[in-house]
Every structure is written in structure tokens, then in C-alpha cells.
Copies of this chain bind each other. A is one copy, B any other.
């Protein structure tokens, strides 16, 4: 049998298993947005090997870590070679000291307990772990446009069904349009009930931070419908005004919300990998079972805890020196955002975001996002992110990331200025 199959292979027939491909994976017709953007980038480099490419596409941090954070991780790593400092498996939910520090740093006045905080390798991964908890038989709503992982993970777990149209909307997803017309907050009167509402603030990609009033409406809507909000606050540290930095600032949220968050953008940990998820004790499924218990089971069974070195770095971030240092990194990127906002504004374009978020959301009326993306790449060697990659509601827009070294941002601004004028 083996010989026959190997012969078939040589004959070009090719052995196939009898295992059916997962229909959910078949439903994912396009590639993951940021992989697609990377592919365009590589093609461009091949075509223009000498061009000085500037990447404002994937929102990736560029500035060195503060010394205190890097040296804490280095010390921890070195100590792993000593009998006193060696650590094997840590608690799957994260070390208690870090869970307590997160509770103290971000949730002090809103009484989130450390036992409700799960330390993980990032919010992108937590979204899938939450989908594993929820399973295929719930319905979801997403903002349109939104971070593609909500929809993609929903398709993968089997909630979403297949695409119903060319704009890659799924049959079973409720899309909540967020546009300049509605101040980037969905019209909840016309929104159908869904079990799960993904909501991101400050928003990726639009850069809009939801106001307190908007979030109060959202929580009320969830409570009226018995829905669970999965609130993505990965960019909370970029809020410069008094918009809520956590959904748990809103009364009544503890019984209807989960929060996913991250050190990636807070502290430049995109490569170090560290995040957390808050699941309040009061959050119950319809049968009264605590959601927290099921998430804990998934974290223990499908995950083994975040790297202990990364956790040591997280703890250093939350020291008073660390917090000060990460705040000045945030300010650095926000100054970039201001430069980009000014650039596009001075070109007469419609510009959103950039005030409470490291993303600038620019409209190109009448144009397709991917066309503008390609044209800017071809002519200015700047990578952006096409708005339509975040959903139909992002068509005509580009997302411009403010992550980058200041020199690159200024150079990008110069190139964009000459291209558009």
C-alpha cells in the first residue's frame, strides 16, 4: 500500500487523505488582512528594491522598550539559570503579582478583582479562546468596519456561516455600521439582537474613542437583550480625554461584559507577547453558569500561560517608573498621529481618529480603498491599510498607522504632501 501510494505520487497523482476539509475554513475565502498587506509589501520590495519603503500599514510598534522593562526581563531570564531563580510552569492564569498589578493599575476605582484577570499572550489569541468558550451556536454582532479577527474567528468557530455578498459579509453576523454620519456609534434602534457584541474602543480602524454616553447606551442595549459585550480596549492607553478606558467604568457592565486588553501597544510588546482578559464573576450564561469558569477551563486546557519572562516585563511596565516610561512612548506615537492628521487635513481630506488612538482614518470619496492603497504604495512607497479590509463600512477609507520613527513619519508626510498636491 505504501509502495503503491509512493508510486502514485511519482506518477503525479498525489496521495490524499480521506479527512474532509473543515467547512468553516472553506468559508474563509480571503486571506487574513494583515498577511495580505505583507504580501503586497514583499511584492513591492521586489519591484522596487531600492525604494525606501515606509510602513504605516500593520499597526506595529517601532520604538525601543524603556530600559526598566528590558532590564527586568533580562534579569528574569538570567535568573532562570540559577536554582533560586528557575521557574517551570506558572499558573495558567498568570502570576498573582501581575494579576494584582493589572487590577491595581487599570481597575482600581472600578473594583475588578485580580482573580477575574487572566494574563495571556495577547488579545488576538484571547479572542479565539473566547470563541472556543462560546462555540458555534451563538450569534454575533461586529462594528463595521472592525478589526478582522472578530469576523474571521467567528467564521472559524462556525457561528458566521458563509459570505453572503461580495463585500465579504457573513450570513449570520449583524453588522453595526460606524461612520462619520453616526459619530462612529451604531444606531442601536435598528440593530438586531445578537448573543455577542464585539466592540472596540478606541476603535481599530477608525480611531474613534466611544464616549461615556455611547458606552452607557451600549451596556443598556446589551442588558435589554441579554447579550455579552466583548470589549476590546487594546488602545485604551491612547485616550487623551475623559472617554472611558474600560467598559467596567459603566454601571451594570460587570454582568454583561468581558474585556480583552494588551501590553502590545501600551508598552511596545507586539513581539514580546503579553495581554489580559477580564471576565467578571457576575457574568452568567442563561443557565446561570459563570462564564469565568468556562474561560478558566479553556485557559488551563488550551493554553499554558504567557511566557514567564514576558510576565516579568509586564510587571516592570506597571511599576511607577515603568508607567511613566510607557506613557511617554504613547505620547511619542500620539505626536506622530497629530503630524499625520495635520498632513491629511492640510491636503483637504476628510480625516478622523488620531486624537485618542494611534490610527488616522482618512476618506477618499468615490475611490475604492484597495485602489488608493495601491496607488499610494506605487507612487510614494508608503504602506497603508485599505479601509475595506476592515469591512464594507471601511470602503473609501484608508487606515494610517501612527506607529513609526518620527523621521519616517515626517518623511511620509512630505511624500504624501507632494503626491496629493
State whether the Cβ of A372 lies closer than 8 Å to any Cβ in chain B.
no
State whether the Cβ of A226 lies closer than 8 Å to any Cβ in chain B.
yes
Residue of B nearest to A8 (CB): B255
Contact A309/B19 with A25-B133, A62-B88 known, Cβ cut-off 8 Å: no
Residues of B within 8 A of A294 (CB): 21-22, 25
Q: How far is the CA of A289 from the CA of B85 in the complex (A)?
A: 47
State whether the Cβ of A158 lies closer than 8 Å to any Cβ in chain B.
yes
Within the complex, what minimum Cβ distance (angstroms) separates A251 from chain B?
Answer: 6
- Interface pick from A72-80, A173-181, A391-399: A72-80
A contacts with B, residue count (CB < 8 A): 113
Residue of B nearest to A271 (CB): B308
Give which listed residue, B65, B272, B304, B313, contacts A124 with CB less than 8 A: B304
Q: How far is the CA of A271 from the CA of B227 in the complex (A)?
A: 36
Within the complex, what minimum Cβ distance (angstroms) separates A304 from chain B?
Answer: 5
Q: How far is the CA of A67 from the CA of B81 in the complex (A)?
A: 6
Contact assessment for A121 and B307 in the assembled complex, using a CB-CB cutoff below 8 Å: yes
Per-position 1/0 for A306-321, Cβ under 8 A of B:
1111100100000000
Q: Which of A16, A88, A289 has the most CB of B within 10 A?
A: A88
Contact assessment for A138 and B228 in the assembled complex, using a CB-CB cutoff below 8 Å: no
Residues of B within 8 A of A219 (CB): 2
Residue of B nearest to A222 (CB): B17
Within the complex, what minimum Cβ distance (angstroms) separates A265 from chain B?
Answer: 10
Contact assessment for B138 and A20 in the assembled complex, using a CB-CB cutoff below 8 Å: yes
Number of copies of this chain that the complex holds: 2
Per-position 1/0 for A244-262, Cβ under 8 A of B:
0000000110011000000
Residue of B nearest to A124 (CB): B304
Residue of B nearest to A310 (CB): B307
Give which listed residue, B21, B223, B307, contacts A289 with CB less than 8 A: B21
- Interface pick from A148-156, A162-170, A355-363: A148-156
State whether the Cβ of A323 lies closer than 8 Å to any Cβ in chain B.
no
Q: Which of A70, A227, A252, A268 has the most CB of B within 10 A?
A: A70
State whether the Cβ of A339 lies closer than 8 Å to any Cβ in chain B.
no
Given contacts A15-B256, A74-B74, 12 further A-B contacts (CB under 8 A): A2-B251, A17-B227, A19-B228, A21-B287, A60-B88, A67-B81, A89-B270, A121-B307, A127-B302, A270-B304, A273-B304, A273-B308
